[in-house]
Amino acid sequence: MNRFAVFFCVVAVVGGAVTLAALNLNTALGSPWHVPPYVVSLVGKYLCYAILALAVDLVWGFGGILSLGHAAFFALGGYAMGMYLMRQIAGRGVYGNPVLPDFMVFLNWKELPWYWHGFDNPIFAGLMVVAVPGLLALVFGWLAFRSRVSGVYLSIITQALTYALLLAFFRNDMGFGGNNGLTDFKDILSYPLQADATRAGLLVVTASVLAFSLMLAYAIVASRFGKVLIAVRDAESRTRFLGYRPENYKLFVWVVSAIMAGIGGALYVPQVGIINPSEFSPANSIEAVIWVAVGGRGTLVGAVLGAVLVSGGKTWLTGALPEIWLFALGALFILVTLFLPAGIIGAFRRAPAPLPAPEPAE
Among residues 19, 194, 223, 337, the one that binds another protein under rule CB under 8 A:
223
Q: Which of 207, 231, 292 is nearest to 257 (CA)?
A: 292
Q: Which helix or strand (DSSP H or E) is residue 92 part of?
A: none
Residue from the set 238, 321, 324, 335 that interacts with another protein by CB under 8 A: 238
- Residue with smaller CB distance to another protein, 68 or 258: 258
Q: CA–CA separation, 161 vs 92, rounded Å?
A: 35
Q: Which stretch binds another protein (CB under 8 A): 27-35, 177-185, 334-342, 352-360?
A: 352-360
Rounded CA separation 71/280 (Å): 6
- With CB under 8 A as the contact rule, the residue among 98, 108, 110, 234 that binds another protein is 234
According to DSSP, residue 108 is labeled T
Q: DSSP letter at 360?
A: P
Question: Rule CB under 8 A: is residue 347 a binding residue for another protein?
Answer: no
By CB under 8 A, is residue 235 in contact with another protein? Answer: yes
Q: What is the CA radius of gyration of the chain?
A: 22
**Measured CA angle at 315 (ends 207, 130), to 5 deg:** 40
Contact 262, 127 (CB under 8 A): no
Which residue number, 59 or 274, has a Cβ lying nearer to another protein?
Answer: 59
DSSP single-letter state for residue 267: H
Nearer Cβ to another protein (150/239):
239
Is residue 298 within 8 A of residue 66, CB to CB? The reply is: no
The verdict on 30 binding another protein (CB under 8 A) reads no
Contacts of 29 (CB under 8 A, 6+ apart): none
Side chain identity, residue 189: L
Binds another protein (CB under 8 A): choice among 243, 339, 350, 351: 243
Q: Quick one: 117 or 238, whose CB is closer to another protein? A: 238
CB of 14 or CB of 228, closer to another protein: 228
User: Residue 295, by phi and psi: left (phi above 0), alpha (psi -120 to 50) or beta?
Assistant: alpha
Q: Tell which one of 92, 117, 171, 227 touches another protein (CB under 8 A).
A: 227
> Any contact of residue 352 with another protein (CB under 8 A)?
yes
Of 181-189, 237-245, 260-268, 323-331: span binding another protein (CB under 8 A): 237-245
Residue 252 touching another protein (CB under 8 A) = yes
**The only residue of 2, 26, 31, 237 in contact with another protein, by rule CB under 8 A:** 237
Contacts of another protein in 202-221 (CB under 8 A): 220
Fill in the DSSP letter of residue 324.
G
Q: Is 31 a residue that touches another protein (CB under 8 A)? A: no
d(CA 281, CA 167): 9
**Which of 230, 317, 328, 342 is close enough to bind another protein by CB under 8 A?**
230
H or E segment and range at residue 182: strand 182-183
Residue count, binding to another protein (CB under 8 A):
29
Q: What is the C-alpha to C-alpha distance for residues 177 and 268, in angstroms, rounded to an integer?
A: 18
Site membership for another protein, residue 240 (CB under 8 A):
yes
Shorter beta-carbon distance to another protein: residue 265 or 298: 298
Q: If DSSP codes are grouped into helix, strand and coil, which group holds residue 62?
A: helix
Q: Which of 14, 42, 157, 231 binds another protein (CB under 8 A)?
A: 231
* Residue in 224, 323, 338, 351 binding another protein, rule: CB under 8 A: 224
Q: 65 near 250, Cβ under 8 Å?
A: yes
Binders of another protein among 131-190, rule CB under 8 A?
none
Task: Please give the residue ranges that form the binding site for another protein (CB under 8 A).
Answer: 220, 223-225, 227-228, 230-231, 234-235, 237-245, 248-249, 252, 352, 355, 358-362
